[in-house]
Amino acid sequence: MSSVLDYLYQINGVVSTDKTVLQNLETLASAAGCFLSYDIHDARWSVIINEPTNSVAQFDDSNIIGPITVGSTGLTELYNSVKLEFPHIDLKDNLDYVTLTIPDADRNPNEPDNELNIQFDCINDPVQAEYLAFIELKQNRLDTVVSFDTDYSYLNLKAGDIIDITNSVYGYTNRTFRIVTIGENDNDDGSITLNITASEYDSDIYSTADLYRYERSDSTGITTFGAIGAPGTPTVNKFEVSSRPRIAVESTAPTGTVSGMEFWYSDTAAALDSNRVYNLLGTVSPSVGNVFTFGSQVDFEFAGTLANTFYVKTRGINSQTAGLFSNVATTSYTPVQVPDALNDNTEVLNGSGTNILSSLGLSALLALLNGLFQGNTTSGSSWANALGSSQAGVSSIIAGNNISITSSTGVVTISSTGGGGAANLAAGTGITLSTGSGVTTIASTEKWQGASKYVQSSEPTGAIAAGDIWFKV
């Protein structure tokens, strides 16, 4: 198994003498990732390598003659998958087939399936063939084509060159295009202009997912159900200081029929990955459908305890086999569990869906009140001292002082059968009543009242029982 090509492009195949020289040249150029072009300056055929490069000429209103014609490919004409046919070296150059697909997330809304068929007669390495097929598929989706005239000074340009265009009408600012054709126009006034047709260019099309070489042993020439490539290197995101410390691992689905993605980890600090002992963290299955789409993101979370430094790798599986492991990602992880802060906006629901914070607050308040009154009306409690030794409440106070209360025509009269009148009510409370000129004066010796006693001092004294409340009267 190898994940590195000795050469990016290498021709391995035969050409047919039944075909024309130009047809064979195009076959060889496509296998080498080149554009075949006729160089009018040297009067010979040449090639332009299909690779990322810089613009060689800039065009704007100062050197574009007349209007710019802009066209694009219709939605139904866009390719979103490619079926690749090539002679596979592992199968003694018998034909093999690989299908590559653009993920649904990268397609346009309501875009129908449309497959591009490519045949490479002179490529027998699967990684090289897939790489070229990826470029062809991605280039097809850059569907903007422009055409315009310019002056004769740009005769040195040739098909395959990269140019950039700035035009305020179409919102172009140094937008790059690759020249498809360039021709001469002989105008009626004797002048010569050049007509350039160019297609949209983006250097990102040369960046593809990780492609790996896997050995083929079947003789049918058809990719089997068990042929699974390797995923891209996983990305590990850590949530170390949290109420739920965890790691989140992101991977991408590899080529082949992938019905699940496995996530493995190791805490063995070995220099070689082959010497590490890996354990399976978990397996993720597709939420929709039976298989993962090639290149789609697969996420996995783990909230258990891991070593401070650990290693993670992933692979695709199906019911028949497991694919190649990805490259290894390593990170350090020191989880610290901290509680979430409660505030006025925090909602915590119980099993019935009710916010329990209000219940907790009410329970705390009731507990405080229960401590204040000792939760009963027995002798010694604050509740009993306020309302009497029995639950009769105010009536006990009245009965203990020979006081009667009557009401007639809206007037409430308080009288005492003990002869002491209102003074009986004040007796023993530290309150004195005196009457003069029809005015009753109430004075107090400022006794301290506790839960079960009165204290004639400036501060409470004696044992204070739990829940007792002291106040001056």
Q: Give the C-alpha separation, 467 to 375, whole Å.
A: 9
Q: Give the C-alpha separation, 162 to 177, whole Å.
A: 6
* Beta carbons within 8 Å of 470's beta carbon, 6+ residues apart: 448, 449, 450, 451, 460, 464
CA 9 to chain centre: 37
Question: How many helical (H) and strand (E) elements, i.e. helices and strands, does the chain have?
Answer: 6, 27
Kindly indicate the confidence band of residue 27, based on its pLDDT and cuts at 50, 70 and 90: confident
* Beta carbons within 8 Å of 396's beta carbon, 6+ residues apart: 387, 388, 389, 390
| Residue 250 reports pLDDT greater than 50 | yes
Query: Using the 8-state DSSP alphabet, how is residue 105 labeled?
Result: G
Beta bridge partners of 302: 247
**pTM (two decimals):** 0.44
Q: What pLDDT is attached to residue 174?
A: 93
Q: What pLDDT is attached to residue 194?
A: 92
Q: What is the pLDDT of residues 190-212, one digit of tens each?
A: 788 999 999 999 888 887 555 65
Looking at the chain, the whole-number percentage of residues with pLDDT higher than 70 is 65
Q: What pLDDT is attached to residue 146?
A: 94
Query: Using the 8-state DSSP alphabet, how is residue 210 labeled?
Result: -
Structure token digits, residue 267: 């805490």
Q: Compare 411 and 24 and report the one with higher pLDDT.
A: 24
Kindly indicate the confidence band of residue 321, based on its pLDDT and cuts at 50, 70 and 90: confident
Q: What is the pLDDT of residues 59-71, one digit of tens each?
A: 999 999 989 999 8
Q: What is the pLDDT of residues 132-143, one digit of tens each?
A: 888 888 888 887
Q: Half-sphere exposure (CA, 13 Å, Cβ side) for 455? A: 16
Q: Cα torsion at 342, 344, 345, 351 (round to 10°)?
A: 60
Cα-based distances in Å from 323 to 83, 231, 233, 242, 469? 21, 9, 14, 35, 76
| Residue 354 reports pLDDT greater than 60 | no
SS3 111: coil
Q: Are strands 81-88 and 115-119 parallel, antiparallel or unpaired?
A: parallel
Q: Which of 183, 180, 137 is nearest to 160 (CA)?
A: 180
Q: Compare 409 and 29 and report the one with higher pLDDT.
A: 29
Domains of the chain: 21-206 (no CATH), 235-337 (2.60.40.10), 374-472 (no CATH)
- CB count within 10 Å of CB 102 equals 22
Q: What pLDDT is attached to residue 2?
A: 43
